[in-house]
Amino acid sequence: MENLQKVLIIVNPISGNIDKTDIVDRIVSVLNEKNIAFEIYKTTGENDHAEIVKILDRQKFDRIFVLGGDGTLKMLAEVLKDETTAVALFPTGSANGLSVNLNIPDNLNSQIDIALGGNKISIDMLKIEDEICLHISDFGLNAELIKNYEASAIRGKMGYLLQSLPTLWESRYPFDFTIKYNDKEIKRSGVFLAFSNAQKYGTGAVVNPNAKMDDGIFEVLIFKDFDVKEILKTLSNEIEFDPNIVEIFPVKEVEVFCHQPVSFQIDGEYCGEKEKVSVKLSTRKLPILIP
């Protein structure tokens, strides 16, 4: 174990509808046993970016523990400028896509061991206009599903399942895209187009089987048709898609223009309908502790 002096613990009290008191108590008792100082910040949902910047400006932390979902982590990623402070995940959101991709276990003691251990990966982050994306962002059918899910009362996987048929029924797919990258311009039609730095969605569906989160590139994925056979492959561990249905290519920077406004999402948060987005690798990476 590195010589850890001080840890910042960021707790989102509402994420995933989970009471985190016992989790925090357990973490605190381990830190006390090991004589590691700590500070706890509870998010409020208002002004958290600015409050965390103030805390990080005031002092240096060796580690930051995050108890929340993808949204809480993304908020930290947007303000954490010091790439030597590694982040530990305690996945407690309704969507924990990054933890799923990094194989963070469910067991709290294992999570604490990882958080205090020395195994790290510095993941690439995507910059989409002014926002950070940590794993997958997309145009089309999946973003429409997230929009309908956010408007419904039922959370979790069942909530997504219940919204899947109405989403398919109402969708105006296929969507027409013009994609500009590496001085090329191509036109494609598809049910969804994703920018992906990760292999899977938080639900576990594998859409970008060969992705590496720290390789300095990300992938553009286009599902050209609503093909049940190819969609079922995302739920298995099969890693070869039919190239006539699924096109995947690596980029460092890309611009996508839609021929009409299309639903768009970043890391599971619906962002409205958009006609154009520019995506590039962030100049910063995010160091995360892994098993």
Kindly list the residues in this chain that would bind ligand ATP in the complex (CB under 6 A).
Answer: 12-16, 43-45, 68-72, 93-95
244: left (phi over 0), alpha (psi -120 to 50) or beta: alpha
Cβ closest to ligand ATP, residue 159 vs residue 174: 159
Cα Rg, the chain, nearest whole Å: 19
- What are 203-208's contacts with CB under 8 Å, separation 24+? 203/157, 203/160, 204/100, 204/235, 205/234, 205/235, 206/233, 206/234, 206/235, 206/236, 206/237, 206/239, 207/136, 207/234, 208/136, 208/248
Please report how close the Cβ of residue 115 comes to ligand ATP at its closest, in angstroms. Answer: 17
Please report how close the Cβ of residue 253 comes to ligand ATP at its closest, in angstroms. Answer: 27
Cβ closest to ligand ATP, residue 77 vs residue 112: 77
Please report how close the Cβ of residue 137 comes to ligand ATP at its closest, in angstroms. Answer: 15
Please report how close the Cβ of residue 40 comes to ligand ATP at its closest, in angstroms. Answer: 13
Please report how close the Cβ of residue 79 comes to ligand ATP at its closest, in angstroms. Answer: 14
Calculate the alpha carbon distances from 181 to 17, 241, 250, 280 in Å.
41, 23, 10, 10
Cβ closest to ligand ATP, residue 200 vs residue 233: 200
Please report how close the Cβ of residue 222 comes to ligand ATP at its closest, in angstroms. Answer: 26
Cβ closest to ligand ATP, residue 200 vs residue 224: 200
216: left (phi over 0), alpha (psi -120 to 50) or beta: left
- Dihedral sign computed on CA atoms, order 235, 237, 238, 243: positive
Cβ closest to ligand ATP, residue 110 vs residue 152: 152
Cβ closest to ligand ATP, residue 15 vs residue 197: 15
Alpha-carbon span 39 to 21, nearest angstrom: 15
> For the chain, how many residues are written?
291
Chain residue at closest Cβ approach to ligand ATP: 71
Cβ closest to ligand ATP, residue 152 vs residue 182: 152
Please report how close the Cβ of residue 155 comes to ligand ATP at its closest, in angstroms. Answer: 7
Cβ-count burial 177-193 (b if 16+ within 10 Å, e if not): bebebeeeeeebebbbb
